[in-house]
Amino acid sequence: MRTIMLIDMDYFFVACEEIKRPELKDRPTIVGADPKEGRGRGVVMTCNYVARKLGIHSAMPISSAYRMAPDAEFLPMDYPYYERKSNEVFGIIKDFSEKTEQVSIDEFFIDVSSKIDNNKEALLLAGKIKSRINSEARLPCSVGISDTKLVAKMACESAKPDGIKLVGKEESLNFIWQLPVGELYGVGAKTKERLEKMGYRTIGDLAKANIMLLMKEFDSFGIELHDLSNGIDPREVVENYEVKSISKEYTFDRDTSKDEEIIKSIRKLSADVGKEISDKRLSYRTVTVKLRYMDFIEHLHSRSIRPTGKSEEIEKTAVELYRENVEKNKKVRKIGVRVSGLQDYKNQKLLF
DNA sequence: TCTGGGGTCCTAGGACCC
DNA sequence: TCTGGGGTCCTAGGACCC
């Protein structure tokens, strides 16, 4: 029997800030875009539970949050700091098993099958991990435990905040079947809508659906939906080492069609991406420029070149792609630069 | 009311090669 | 009159996750 835990940090970015300034714990605190007196264009990344009580939540436009709580503490992202805290947490987790996986900056899987014999021991171990993260990294987290990644993840959701929830193999179907279909991992807004139109409201409805019908609507994704909704999820906990792409994006304060302004941003973004490429000693093959226009329509334009680690090539290619493709009659809202086709520069050198 | 930034994976058509 | 088949790479778009 497998036992997998998902450890998910509670309101991570703000919790990190609260370490530096404990007084924030009693105040609504938001990490995200600069609200600019309500004119800011970004969103809320995370907020603490004091802010949530006021109706604020992640992904909400920062201007709405500002309107709801103008006196809240609005903090900018300090990504390098959060990354350090994330690594600290991952280091603690790795003490408990060799089978670990970082899912995102604030989520980690750990397979503890070989460390425990029963549910009681699993809960005990989860408590130990949680309290070490609490005392050493000084951060709150929640833990979901089950025999699959899928159910561990969903159990964790219901454990939040600051909780531990174990869903045994026997109860796992009952547990997920009562949940709305949109809660299934991998089902987003679009798929949810299509599923509801087909008459499936809960994950249980989906589980009992005719697989042929699902395949007709979703092709191979239909099989996946059928499996997941029936608790079938053989995915292992595996640490994923290599990065596939690196990107930087920037949203203008106001939509613009000024070439100089846009190209200036492309240069800045290219330099930032280039810095990361050289810090990580990588080479890249493909440069992509992303343009989001004022109507929110997005276009990607990419070009593959000879593998290189040179920062200047990013800028040169990105500016070319922009000039060749930009739609002159529409203002640009957001610009992005991405590189992919990454390889260790060391290995790459052998090719020349 | 207005809608970020950083990622991953999948699909599909066309080019190109054998 | 009918115009291969398979594999891989490139580009673009879309859905999803945190």
Summarize pLDDT for A59-70 with one digit per residue, the tens: 999 999 999 999
Domains and CATH numbers, chain A: 4-10+80-171 (3.30.70.270), 13-77 (3.40.1170.60), 178-229 (1.10.150.20), 245-344 (3.30.1490.100)
Q: What is the pLDDT of residues A194-231, one digit of tens each?
A: 999 999 999 999 999 999 999 999 999 999 999 999 99
Nearest nt to the A12 alpha carbon by C1':
C18
Q: What is the pTM of this model?
A: 0.94
Q: What is the pLDDT of residue A351?
A: 47
Q: Is strand B in 7 Å reach of the CB of A218?
A: no
What does the pLDDT average to over A51-57?
96
Q: What is the pLDDT of residue A161?
A: 94
Nearest nt to the A297 alpha carbon by C1':
C13
CA of A66 to C1' of B1 (A): 11
φ, ψ (nearest 5 deg) of residue A5: -115, 145
Q: What is the pLDDT of residues A188-200, one digit of tens each?
A: 999 999 999 999 9
> What whole-number distance in Å separates Cα of residue A334 and Cα of residue A291?
6
Task: Give Cβ neighbours of residue A285 (< 8 Å, ≥ 6 apart).
Answer: A304, A305, A306, A307, A340, A341, A342, A343
Token pair listed for A125: 């171990």
Active site residues of A: 107
Residue nearest to nucleotide C14 (CA to C1'): A190
Evaluate if residue A350 carries a pLDDT over 60: no
Q: What is the pLDDT of residue A209?
A: 97
Nearest nt to the A103 alpha carbon by C1':
C18
Q: What is the pLDDT of residue A346?
A: 65
A164-166 vs A141-146, strand pairing mode: parallel
Asked if residue A48 lies in contact with residue A16, where contact means CB atoms within 8 angstroms, the answer is no
CA of A332 to C1' of C3 (A): 46
Q: Is strand B in 7 Å reach of the CB of A43?
A: yes
What percent of chain A shows pLDDT beyond 90?
96
Evaluate if residue A131 carries a pLDDT over 50: yes
Return the residue matching tokens 């052998």.
Answer: A350
- Helix, strand or coil, per DSSP, at residue A43: strand
